[in-house]
């Protein structure tokens, strides 16, 4: 008799995935709109624009260790819900800023609260998915995050028709508010809490530190590409360079459909190695094949490579620790992504 696999697509996993999708869609809308808003409404210079994404990454990096400890010590549920509502409030608050400095402060607060909410979300995902299907569950949840970053900018453009930024901030805040409301309905499994007194090592999980270092190296390479890809395409005479992001996202989504089950069946070692190798091929294609075919092949390869490696690495980070330390493990893992900035 063949034993049935534990169920992955529970109502709680679906609700959490929808909540995460809405939150990332709102984040993608802001990433696309804020540079335009800062220049056209607040008089920011091109040099100042580069500070906006970096502010969020730095704030999230600062917040994650405390967030990981907090969800392990006091539980996931209320920290997750409260900080999602705070994130929504600061998205609505973009309409109230009257200077570029105020916008930076708003983004700093947003990044702190987003870092806590995102760490809690990642930890709850690893609580909800069965251990036998952890790679698959993390992969599918990560796919919603990729889709959110692709949908967000596409939604932002029509909402910005006529320079109507308050409408965009209201819509983005509404999506984040909906994400928080959905999170209220997620039922969390009972997880033992850390009872030991606080000490500095409580903020980090050393067994996940080396995995976070791998994530930093991997995402730093991709982040470096994204920061200059438009300029590179212009110099190479490649039109419609914006499709690079679409093709890369397509590679990520298509790969997440099958890479997670492979992790669960065969383990992480060869899967992570294959992902890194495919990503390296993408870098080589971009450097050596200065033609549209090479350009978009590189986009697809980097999306595939990162998509294979990232869920496997996260599953490894939480798989070797007790449930009561998953918050710290996720925080340590995600810090590797924050360190590369945007």
Mean pLDDT of 97-113: 92
Task: Indicate whether 68 and 139 sit together in one domain.
Answer: yes
Asked if residue 5 belongs to a domain, the reply is no
Task: Indicate whether 23 and 162 sit together in one domain.
Answer: yes
Asked if residue 60 belongs to a domain, the reply is yes
Q: Could you tell me the sign of the dihedral formed by the alpha carbons of 61, 194, 117, 10, in that order?
A: positive
Mean pLDDT of 200-208: 71
Asked if residue 70 belongs to a domain, the reply is yes
Residue pair 310/141 in contact (Cβ under 8 Å)? The answer is no
Q: What is the pLDDT of residue 342?
A: 47
Task: Indicate whether 255 and 167 sit together in one domain.
Answer: no
Q: Give the confidence band of 86 by pLDDT, cuts at 50, 70, 90.
A: very high
Task: Indicate whether 284 and 330 sit together in one domain.
Answer: yes
Asked if residue 232 belongs to a domain, the reply is yes
Mean pLDDT of 3-22: 89
Q: What is the pLDDT of residue 139?
A: 85
Tokens 């509502």 locate to 85
Task: Indicate whether 174 and 30 sit together in one domain.
Answer: yes
Residue that finishes a domain, picked among 160, 187, 214: 187
Nearest-angstrom CA–CA distance, 113 and 108: 9
Neighbours of 335 (CB within 10 A): 24
Asked if residue 2 belongs to a domain, the reply is no
| Residue range of the domain that includes 165 | 11-187
Q: What is the pLDDT of residue 221?
A: 63
Task: Indicate whether 156 and 266 sit together in one domain.
Answer: no
Closest to 274 in 3D by CA, of 266, 57, 99, 287: 266
Q: Is the pLDDT of residue 303 over 80?
A: yes
Mean pLDDT of 103-117: 93
Q: What is the pLDDT of residue 80?
A: 96
Task: Indicate whether 48 and 175 sit together in one domain.
Answer: yes
Residue that finishes a domain, picked among 156, 187, 218: 187
Task: Indicate whether 218 and 183 sit together in one domain.
Answer: no
Residue that finishes a domain, picked among 187, 219, 240: 187
How many domains in the chain?
Answer: 2
Mean pLDDT of 69-87: 93
Task: Indicate whether 26 and 168 sit together in one domain.
Answer: yes
Q: What is the pLDDT of residue 92?
A: 95
Neighbours of 281 (CB within 10 A): 16
Average pLDDT score, the chain: 83
Non-local (6+) Cβ contacts of 155 within 8 A are 25, 28, 29, 171
Q: What is the pLDDT of residue 202?
A: 67
Q: Give the confidence band of 186 by pLDDT, cuts at 50, 70, 90.
A: very high
Asked if residue 209 belongs to a domain, the reply is yes
Task: Indicate whether 303 and 208 sit together in one domain.
Answer: yes
CATH of the domain at 161: 1.20.1250.20
Asked if residue 252 belongs to a domain, the reply is yes
Task: Indicate whether 211 and 161 sit together in one domain.
Answer: no
- Residue 42's Cβ-count burial label (10 Å; 0-12, 13-18, 19+) is middle
Q: What is the pLDDT of residue 45?
A: 81
Find the helix or strand (DSSP H, E) in which 255 lies: helix 243-266
Percent residues over pLDDT 90 in the chain: 26
Percent residues over pLDDT 70 in the chain: 89
Asked if residue 178 belongs to a domain, the reply is yes
Q: Is the pLDDT of residue 60 over 90?
A: no
Task: Indicate whether 24 and 48 sit together in one domain.
Answer: yes
Distance set, CA 319 to CA 132, 207, 218, 268, 330 (Å): 10, 10, 20, 11, 11
Q: Give the confidence band of 133 by pLDDT, cuts at 50, 70, 90.
A: confident
């Amino acid at each position: 008799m063949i034993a049935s696999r534990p169920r992955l697509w529970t109502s709680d996993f679906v609700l959490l995935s929808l909540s995460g999708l809405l939150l990332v869609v709102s984040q993608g809308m802001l990433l696309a709109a804020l540079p335009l808003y800062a220049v056209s409404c607040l008089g920011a210079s091109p040099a100042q624009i580069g500070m906006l994404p970096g502010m969020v990454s730095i704030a999230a990096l600062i917040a994650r260790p405390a967030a990981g400890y907090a969800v392990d010590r006091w539980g996931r549920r209320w920290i997750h819900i409260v900080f999602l509502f705070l994130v929504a409030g600061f998205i609505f608050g973009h309409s109230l800023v009257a200077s570029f400095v105020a916008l930076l402060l708003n983004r700093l607060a947003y990044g702190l609260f987003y870092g806590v909410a995102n760490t809690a979300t990642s930890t709850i995902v690893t609580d909800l998915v069965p251990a036998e299907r952890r790679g698959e569950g993390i992969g599918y949840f990560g796919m919603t995050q990729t889709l959110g970053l692709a949908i967000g900018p596409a939604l932002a453009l029509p909402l910005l028709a006529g320079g109507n930024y308050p409408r965009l901030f209201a819509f983005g805040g509404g999506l984040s508010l909906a994400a928080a409301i959905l999170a209220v309905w997620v039922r969390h499994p009972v997880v033992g809490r850390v009872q030991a007194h606080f000490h500095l090592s409580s903020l980090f999980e050393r067994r996940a530190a080396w995995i976070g270092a791998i994530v930093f190296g991997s995402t730093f390479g991709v982040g470096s590409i994204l920061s200059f890809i438009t300029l590179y395409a212009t110099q190479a005479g490649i039109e419609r360079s914006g499709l690079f992001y679409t093709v890369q996202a397509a590679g990520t989504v298509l790969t997440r459909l099958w890479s997670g089950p492979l992790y669960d069946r065969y383990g992480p070692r060869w899967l992570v190695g294959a992902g890194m190798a495919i990503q390296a091929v993408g870098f080589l294609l971009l450097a050596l094949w200065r033609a549209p075919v090479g350009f978009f092949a590189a986009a697809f390869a980097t999306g595939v490579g990162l998509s294979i490696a990232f869920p496997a690495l996260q599953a490894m980070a939480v798989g070797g620790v007790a449930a009561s330390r998953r918050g710290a493990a996720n925080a340590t893992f995600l810090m590797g992504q924050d360190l590369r900035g945007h």
